[in-house]
Structure 1
Amino acid sequence: MKNFNLCLFLKKKKIMVFFLSIIVITTGSCFFYKKFFLSLSEEKALEELNYAQKYLSQGAIDKALNKKKLKIPYLGFYGIVTKYPFTKAGNISKFYAGICFYKLGNYKESIKMMRNFSAKDEFLSSIKYGMIGDAFAQIRNKNEALKNYVKAANIRENEITTPLYYYKAALLTFSMKKYKNSKFFLKKIEKKYPTFLHQKNVEKYLMFIENKL
């Protein structure tokens, strides 16, 4: 009986050692991957990002995106997303690629890129959903556009993005002849954001809606 218990103990010990070894190897591999492979990829991706941003600042949208693999020695935002998807530069490139696709009139690709972009910063997150809203508005999917404008406005209240996207939501619902909804958004701007850039337009739309209703 003692021999049996001893054998059982040794067997369990071997299994535990095996699993511990697997954990150590896996942890070590992850550390190696993050420390060496990812850091090297980050450096390369960041270098590529700098060149793509330069093209974008010059207004060379096709070159900045470089989806068509133009004869330039740099990847462009699309190439960075494809080649370095797990890097920080790869993530922010999705945002820039979304802007480029929008400017080139490829709204569905813009939506796709923006949705894949992970925005930790609340201001960027607002712009992300605002851009998605703009793209949906361009392809005349007004319900999705409205949903994203409202989301963009409500991520975090501030003097810049909140009134801007409420205003876009107001104009959109106005075009849909949903005047009560439009009034709701316009009233929010009027009460909370009196210094909004388009405040005079807000007043005009409100006067029109009041007469309409």
Structure 2
Amino acid sequence: MATYKKRGFKPKTKEEKEHYVEEHSTTAEVFNTLDEKATKTEEWVVKNQKYIFSVIGIIALVVLGYLGYNEFVQKPKQTEAMNEMFQAKKYFNDALTGTEKDSLFNLALNGGEGKYGMIDIAKEYGNTKAGNLAKYYAGMSYLHMRDYEKAVSYLSDFSSDEDI
């Protein structure tokens, strides 16, 4: 009498079950493939561990350097520039509403009473927002004084996120 596999064949012993699952299960196949790839990845990470940590360290230093620069260099410079610009801005506003416009615009541009003018602030703090704003005020002062070449020079250096 011949033997054949019946439908719904189920192995009886534990070893037969494990062998059957290994040969016929697609899930087991997928897990075996994943295990192999994970092992290769782990080996690669162990092999290149120094380089990986070096890159992570460099990225961390760059980020911390950028944040430190903004917090400890750029913000104090911005505050200092805004404080320096107060008197020059007052001269500029007085020139717009006053009668002695030329002398007030000159004071706004060149400073007075020991304070910086817009030109000095634009040069000294040009990479801050206040320095950028000083370029605008200097350009507008020259425009009101009808010195168009200098006005264009300062206004072209001014940049803004908003439309004017």
- TM-score range relative to shorter protein: 0.5 to 0.7
**1:31-72 deviations in Å (ceiling 9; x for gaps):** 011112111111111111211111112321111111xxx664
Pick the aligned partner of 2:155 from 110, 114, 120: 114
Pick the aligned partner of 2:109 from 62, 65, 70: 65
Give the Cα separation in 1 of the matches to 2:120 and 2:152. Answer: 18
**1:7-29 deviations in Å (ceiling 9; x for gaps):** 97555221121111111111101
Query: How far apart are 1:106 and its partner, in Å?
Result: 2.8
Q: Which has the higher contact order (CA 8 A, sep 6+)?
A: 2
Q: Which structure 2 segments of 5+ residues have no match? A: 1-41, 96-103
Q: Which structure 1 segments of 5+ residues have no match? A: 1-5, 126-213
**1:88-141 deviations in Å (ceiling 9; x for gaps):** 21111111010112233332221121122122233xx2xxxxxxxxxxxxxxxx
Opposite residue 50 of structure 1, the aligned amino acid is F
Q: What RMSD in Å do the two structures reach over aligned CA positions?
A: 2.4
**1:149-169 deviations in Å (ceiling 9; x for gaps):** xxxxxxxxxxxxxxxxxxxxx
Does residue 45 (structure 1) correspond to residue 86 (structure 2)? The answer is no
Return the TM-score normalized by structure 2. Answer: 0.62
Pick the aligned partner of 1:14 from 42, 50, 55: 50
Return the TM-score normalized by structure 1. Answer: 0.49
Give the Cα separation in 2 of the matches to 1:118 and 1:80. Answer: 16
Structure with higher Rg: it is 2
In structure 2, do the counterparts of structure 1 residues 105 and 14 end up closer, same or farther at CA, with 3 Å as the change threshold?
Answer: same
Specify the SS of the correspondent of 2:48.
Answer: helix
Match of 2:13?
A: none
Report the number of matched residues. Answer: 116
Percent identity (aligned): 25
